[in-house]
């Protein structure tokens, strides 16, 4: 046993078995943090010794370092999130044209944009690139060239500029949109939700967005969570959102919203969490609320009337 191997075992870190990538019939691989050994430090470049039929590679939640290999041509699912991968996000990943799910989040990549070669990943249904030091504008090709996309998470980066207006009509399968924690400006796409019947979760909190809340967010009848805290949104709460029968959580605190809250919102039987703090909303609150409601925060507004005292069974 060499000195380097002995030192790794003494430290409690087991090396990744490189023979894994030489198995000719392997179709799926998962490398997770184990209860019996500490997370391996082996460089992710070991994955370049791939299996000929490998379609799923999950290396998430470890301590892999180094560059990301791009020689896994048959991959459909690649999970590299929650590691210590550094350097730039490799443009070669754009050559994996059959890729359907790509997770890169929570890695200390160099500050930069998503590679332009990702324009070729037209089969993607899930793209997770949260907290990986992305900068620059919102990558428009994500909207224009990924028509099957259902899950998009580029939250907690340093993206700036406007959200493409076409996201409201070019991604008909979109279900989850996570853009929080960036520096995005401009208005929310006015058609957001109108052409995406599966849309269930939208989070655009902690940006610099202005304008009104789109009225069609719940047009598909599946919206469950809408979070847009700490922006500069104005106007009133749209009636289309207030009438959303599937809505469970609504967080709009820290904006510039005005007007009365539509009364119909208070009768929503699934609504469990409502935070409207720090706006300029007016009117009164209902005397009866659904017993499903766990939190109601309307502090620092202009509400008037008596304090509600009754919580009725839904």
Over residues 114-137, mean pLDDT: 96
Question: Strand order in 158-162's β-sheet?
Answer: 135-137, 158-162, 183-187, 208-211, 232-233
pLDDT at res. 69 = 57
pLDDT for position 132: 95
pLDDT digits (tens, 9 = 90+) for 126-171: 999 999 999 999 989 999 999 999 999 999 999 999 999 999 899 9
> pTM for this structure?
0.81
Which of 30-34, 204-208, 266-270 is modeled with the greatest confidence? Answer: 204-208
The CATH number, out of the four listed (3.90.1150.10, 3.80.10.10, 3.30.565.10, 3.90.180.10), of the domain defined by the range 134-312: 3.80.10.10
User: What mean pLDDT do residues 218-224 have?
Assistant: 96
> What is the chain's mean pLDDT, rounded?
82
CB-count exposure of residue 6 (10 Å: 0-12, 13-18, 19+): exposed
Digit-coded pLDDT (tens) for 177-200: 999 999 999 999 999 999 999 999
Q: Give the pLDDT of residue 287.
A: 77
Instruction: Give the start-to-end residue ranges of the domains of the chain.
Output: 134-312
pLDDT digits (tens, 9 = 90+) for 7-51: 332 333 322 222 223 233 334 444 333 222 334 344 444 444 544
Residue 103 has pLDDT above 80, yes or no: yes
For residue 302, the cross-strand partners are 282
pLDDT band at 110 (very low <50, low <70, confident <90, very high): very high
* Cβ contact 105:81 at 8 Å: yes
């Amino acid at each position: 046993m060499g000195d380097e191997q002995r030192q790794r075992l003494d430290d409690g870190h087991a090396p990744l078995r490189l023979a894994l990538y030489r198995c000719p019939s392997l179709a799926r691989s998962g490398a997770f943090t184990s209860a019996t050994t500490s997370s391996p430090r082996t460089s992710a470049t070991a994955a370049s010794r791939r299996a000929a039929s490998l379609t799923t590679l999950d290396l998430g939640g470890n301590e892999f370092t180094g560059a990301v290999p791009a020689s896994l041509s048959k991959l459909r699912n690649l999970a590299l999130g929650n590691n210590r991968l550094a350097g730039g996000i490799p443009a070669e990943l754009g050559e994996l044209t059959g890729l359907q799910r790509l997770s890169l989040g929570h890695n200390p990549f160099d500050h930069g944009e998503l590679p332009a070669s990702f324009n070729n990943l037209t089969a993607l249904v899930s793209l997770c690139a949260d907290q990986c030091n992305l900068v620059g504008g919102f990558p428009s090709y994500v909207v224009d060239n990924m028509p099957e996309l259902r899950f998009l998470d580029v939250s907690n980066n340093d993206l700036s500029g406007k959200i493409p207006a076409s996201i409201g009509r070019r991604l008909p399968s979109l279900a989850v949109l996570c853009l929080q924690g960036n520096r995005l400006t401009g208005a929310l796409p006015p058609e957001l939700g109108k052409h995406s019947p599966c849309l269930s979760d939208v989070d655009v909190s902690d940006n610099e967005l202005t304008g009104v809340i789109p009225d069609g967010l719940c047009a598909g009848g599946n919206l469950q969570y809408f979070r847009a805290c700490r922006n500069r949104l104005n106007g009133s709460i749209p009636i289309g959102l207030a009438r959303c029968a599937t809505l469970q959580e609504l967080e709009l605190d820290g904006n510039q919203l005005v007007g009365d809250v539509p009364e119909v919102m208070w009768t929503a039987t699934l609504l469990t969490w409502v935070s409207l703090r720090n706006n300029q909303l007016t009117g009164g609150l209902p005397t009866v609320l659904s017993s499903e409601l766990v939190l109601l925060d309307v502090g620092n507004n202009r509400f008037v009337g008596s304090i509600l005292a009754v919580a009725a069974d839904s």
